């Protein structure tokens, strides 16, 4: 408890915040931090009661992942995925009923007009149009 009260989570004595530590964690594990950044990182890791265990758990997870053996993907994985998804899409298109040109035009116009209907129903827009008409009528 005394260690927690002495350590400020926002800046600590290293000048590094816990959020900054979290952002630098992968670079530190990969060993690509600069010398000054590495020194600040290590100081924060040793002093922070939250970030120290986080670093140990992350390092343990990284070492476990590196110990796993690589597995080759199946030889036709991409082809199989494309065949499965394309077959479903083409089956759905084939099952769709054929529409006449009037029905297709009606659907397109409905799709185009639906956002405009929402705008026309807005009271603010209607009031703006009414005020514009009233202003023009007064000027005439």
Single residue among 67, 90, 109 that ends a domain in this structure:
67
| Angstrom distance (rounded) from CA 120 to CA 113 | 11
In a domain, 87, yes or no: no
Contact 11, 19 (CB under 8 A): no
This prediction has a pTM of: 0.45
Give me the pLDDT at residue 126, please.
Answer: 76
In a domain, 76, yes or no: no
Helices of type H across 1-140: 2-6, 18-30, 35-47, 51-67, 77-95, 101-120, 123-139
46-77 exposure pattern, b = at least 16 Cβ within 10 A, e = fewer = ebbeebeeebeeeeeeeeeeeeeeeeeeeeee
Answer yes or no: is pLDDT of 59 > 60: yes
In a domain, 75, yes or no: no
In a domain, 77, yes or no: no
Same domain membership, residue 63 and residue 105 = no
Give me the pLDDT at residue 66, please.
Answer: 87
Query: Can you tell me the mean pLDDT for 104-125?
Result: 79
Same domain membership, residue 63 and residue 22 = yes
Contact 7, 47 (CB under 8 A): yes
| Angstrom distance (rounded) from CA 22 to CA 45 | 10
Contact 33, 41 (CB under 8 A): yes
- Angle 67-70-54 from CA coordinates, rounded to 5°: 40
What percentage of residues in the chain have a pLDDT greater than 90?
Answer: 31
Tokens 């002495």 label which residue?
Answer: 6
Q: What does the pLDDT look like over 79-100, one tens digit per residue?
A: 888 887 876 666 666 666 777 8
- Tell me the backbone φ, ψ of residue 37, rounded to 5 degrees: -65, -40
Answer yes or no: is pLDDT of 6 > 50: no
Boundaries of domain holding 47: 2-67
What percentage of residues in the chain have a pLDDT greater than 70?
Answer: 81
Single residue among 48, 67, 86 that ends a domain in this structure:
67
Give me the pLDDT at residue 3, please.
Answer: 43
In a domain, 88, yes or no: no
Answer yes or no: is pLDDT of 10 > 60: no
Answer yes or no: is pLDDT of 5 > 70: no
In a domain, 82, yes or no: no
In a domain, 81, yes or no: no
Which residue in 14, 33, 13, 35 sits closest to 23, CA to CA? Answer: 33
């Amino acid at each position: 408890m005394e260690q927690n009260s002495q350590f400020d989570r926002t800046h600590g004595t290293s000048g590094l915040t816990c959020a900054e530590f979290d952002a630098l964690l992968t670079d530190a594990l990969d060993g690509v931090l600069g010398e000054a950044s590495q020194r600040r990182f290590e100081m924060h890791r040793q002093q922070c009661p939250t970030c120290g265990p986080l670093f140990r758990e992350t390092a343990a997870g990284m070492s476990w992942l590196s110990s796993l053996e690589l597995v080759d993907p199946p030889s036709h994985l991409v082809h199989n995925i494309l065949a499965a998804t394309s077959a479903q899409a083409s089956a759905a298109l084939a099952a769709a009923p054929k529409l006449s040109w009037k029905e297709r035009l009606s659907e397109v116009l409905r799709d185009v007009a639906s956002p405009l209907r929402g705008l026309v129903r807005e009271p603010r827009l209607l009031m703006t149009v009414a005020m514009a008409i009233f202003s023009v009528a007064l000027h005439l």
